[in-house]
Amino acid sequence: MTGIKQLTEQDRKARAEANEGLPTLGFESGTPYDDYVGTATLHGLQRTITDAPEELPFLVTTQVMELYFGLLRTEWRLAQRQLDADDVTAATLTIRRTVRHFEALNAAWAALSWLTPAQFNSFRDALGEGSGFQSALYRHVEFLLGNKSEALIRPHRRNPEAYEELVEALHRPSLYDSVLAFLARAGHAVPRSVLDRDLAAEYGPDPEVEAVWVEVYGGPLAPLAEALTDLAEQFSDWRYRHLMAVRRSMGAKPGSGGSSGLTWLERSMRREIFPELWTARTLM
């Protein structure tokens, strides 16, 4: 990275000896840490629009979540490339890593668990029509998990870069599609109707895929199935925590982005990802 001088193990050892074990205190410009993390830019992004003290933690938590959405998108794309290369060991490790990312993402809701209706109302009006529903990165995350809907990319039509990325994601395989294609290449009887389906449509469960997962759980690919199940559970936890945060801070009031709020989230929770991974358990 520009501005950062790379060091070897020998460099670090020599520096520690020269400093007699103390940290380096003098630098020619900014610290390498600030250069790498971009702290000035990062902390400059917290621009509140009211004087309400509750707004800053709300904004910071939302921005942290956006960073995790981007991380998950990058990781799942990597997992797809690994699956496409039939490197299931690497893909499983990547998916397991994202389960840990999701745990941290879900923990972020705790930073808003104290928000009462009165506190939220102290800055909510100033947000106008701004809503988490409008997050392009979250929509991309949902598309990668198989929850697809052409209608939900329409809010981004005036943001060409985000819109084009979502159109591409809508028509590309989801992570689950990549998994099923891999299982088919590995000799499992994934039906052609599933492999050749319209990728822009939301995935629907198939009894033959359910039978494939029963078979998978009896063989060496079971760790992949469990990693995906852990991921699905974390995603369900995310949606539940989101629902409860809304319920706690605003009850059943209409959402800022034009939705019915609580009932919209309750309806969204019924859209399961990786559905056969759950129903197959009844047959094992």
Quickly state the pLDDT bin for 244 (edges 50, 70, 90).
confident
Portion of the chain with pLDDT greater than 70, in percent: 94
Q: Indicate the annotated binding residues.
A: 124, 242
Q: What is the 3-state secondary structure (H, E, C) of the chain?
A: CCCCCCCCHHHHHHHHHHCCCCCCCCCCCCCHHHHHHCHHHHHCCCCCCCCCCCHHHHHHHHHHHHHHHHHHHHHHHHHHHHHHCCCHHHHHHHHHHHHHHHHHHHHHHHHHCCCCHHHHHHHHHHHCCCCHHHCHHHHHHHHHCCCCCHHHHHHHCCCHHHHHHHHHHHHCCCHHHHHHHHHHHCCCCCCHHHHCCCCCCCCCCCHHHHHHHHHHCCCCCHHHHHHHHHHHHHHHHHHHHHHHHHHHHHCCCCCCCCCCCHHHHHHHHCCCCCHHHHHHHHHC
Domains detected in the chain: 42-283 (1.20.58.480)
Portion of the chain with pLDDT greater than 90, in percent: 66
* Structure confidence at residue 25 (pLDDT): 83
pLDDT in tens, 52-106: 999 999 999 999 999 999 999 999 999 999 999 999 999 999 999 999 999 999 9
- Distance CA(39)–CA(66), nearest Å, equals 17
Q: Indicate the annotated binding residues for heme.
A: 242
Q: Indicate the annotated binding residues for substrate.
A: 124
* Structure confidence at residue 249 (pLDDT): 82
* Structure confidence at residue 119 (pLDDT): 93
User: What's the predicted TM-score (pTM) here?
Assistant: 0.91
* Structure confidence at residue 199 (pLDDT): 96
- Distance CA(34)–CA(64), nearest Å, equals 18
> Mean pLDDT across the stretch 36-59?
94
Q: Is the pLDDT of residue 2 over 80?
A: no
Give the CA-trace dihedral at 126, 133, 107, 249, to 10 degrees: 50
pLDDT in tens, 116-165: 999 999 998 898 877 777 899 999 999 999 999 898 899 899 999 999 99
Q: Is the pLDDT of residue 260 over 60?
A: no
